[in-house]
Amino acid sequence: MTTTFNTIIVGAGPAGLGVAIALKQLGFEDSLIVDRHGIGHSFENWPRETRFITPSFPAHEFGCPDLNAVTASFSPGAWLSAEHPTGKQYARYLRELAVRNELEVQTGIDVRGLLRHENGTIKLDTSGGALYGRTVVWAAGEFQYPNTNPFPGSELCIHSMTLASYSELKGAEFLVIGGYESGMDVASHLIAHCAKVRVLDPSVPWEETEGDPSSILSIKTRARLEGMQKTGRLILNRSAPVMEVTQIDGLYRTQTADGKQWTSATRPILANGFRGSLSLLPDAFARDERGQIQLSACDESTVMPGLFLAGPHVRHGDQLFCFIYKFRTRFPIVAAAIAEKRTYHENRYSAAAHNPNRDCLSRT
């Protein structure tokens, strides 16, 4: 007999746990969270030296939750005694969060794809067999999916987020491809060990000082950048996009679209971001002409009713929700929409049934 769950949440990171807790707060105790590895696994695999760029500072007395908190009442900064937690510390926080909220999490389940089933449920193709949910929340995040193959020869490079520690990198000079947060994080630790670092990026993010915090360097990183520049061991280059990396006579040659070549004795370091988990779902969400995900007002797929998105991939217009303090504001919206759907299906009527124009209710 096939079991159909009311809500299946894919991903046991901050987004998945946050939506599950929001549903519990609405009285729904039966959400199932599934994850390929374990709670907070992506954070466990951060390089040992990497820290959160957003500070964890509890200010509950003033109604301002910790920026890295998943819930307003449980601060990672206070619990961990860390203002800028490491990935391993934050994974501990997430595991404690799941225990305190008695969340049901099944690990070792690799979700390979989603399919709208003929009975109106969503079928999940997983390594453990098929699962069925009346609603599904995709909260699988991005850190597990680094962009390791952006151009020919990228196998000769090493992606910054595949390192257990930056101490694995040995050499006196390095070439980093990508100048946003990941690139600057790599550079800061290498320079701290007296290496010389050249950073290539077409968009010169180090020159942008105003804009959405999701698209410019953080204050913490800018402070580190200033310190790196004082050493004289950081070289920042505006470059055309990288087209290819080759290895000749033991040297690595990085070629850009304008015909320039940059040579390094050590493997070039990719700091070019992530493919993200949505690369596993090419048809589950509509995209506009720019390739941006299209969602309803309550973060539901416009092509697969009952499928919701939670986490750093959520965006509405020019608003990016790629930090925890941003995408956590969407948890109650998603939970309320799921609750509304469930009430409709369980009772065959709801207040929303009298307001058919409301776009946060997609009847299935």
The answer, yes or no, to whether residue 48 has pLDDT greater than 90, is: yes
207 contacts 317 by C-beta, under 8 angstroms: no
pLDDT at 141 (0 to 100):
86
The answer, yes or no, to whether residue 351 has pLDDT greater than 60, is: no
148 contacts 142 by C-beta, under 8 angstroms: no
- Average pLDDT, stretch 10-37? 95
The answer, yes or no, to whether residue 37 has pLDDT greater than 60, is: yes
For the chain, domains (ranges, CATH) are: 4-144+275-354 (3.50.50.60), 154-270 (3.50.50.60)
Tell me the pLDDT tens digit for each residue of 239-256.
Answer: 999 999 999 999 999 999
3-class secondary structure, 233: coil
If pLDDT is split at 50, 70 and 90, which confidence band does 61 have? low
**CB atoms inside a 10 Å sphere around CB 317:** 6
The answer, yes or no, to whether residue 363 has pLDDT greater than 50, is: no
Q: Look up the pTM and report it.
A: 0.90
The CA-CA-CA angle for residues 287, 276, 234, to 5°, reads 115
The answer, yes or no, to whether residue 52 has pLDDT greater than 80, is: yes
pLDDT at 171 (0 to 100):
95
| Average pLDDT along the chain | 90
In this structure, of 14-28, 37-51, 241-255, 336-350, the range with the lowest mean pLDDT score is 336-350
The answer, yes or no, to whether residue 122 has pLDDT greater than 50, is: yes
Dihedral sign computed on CA atoms, order 169, 172, 175, 181 = positive
- Helix, strand, coil shares, percent, the chain, to 5: 30, 25, 45
Q: Provide φ and ψ at 285, rounded to 5°.
A: -130, 140
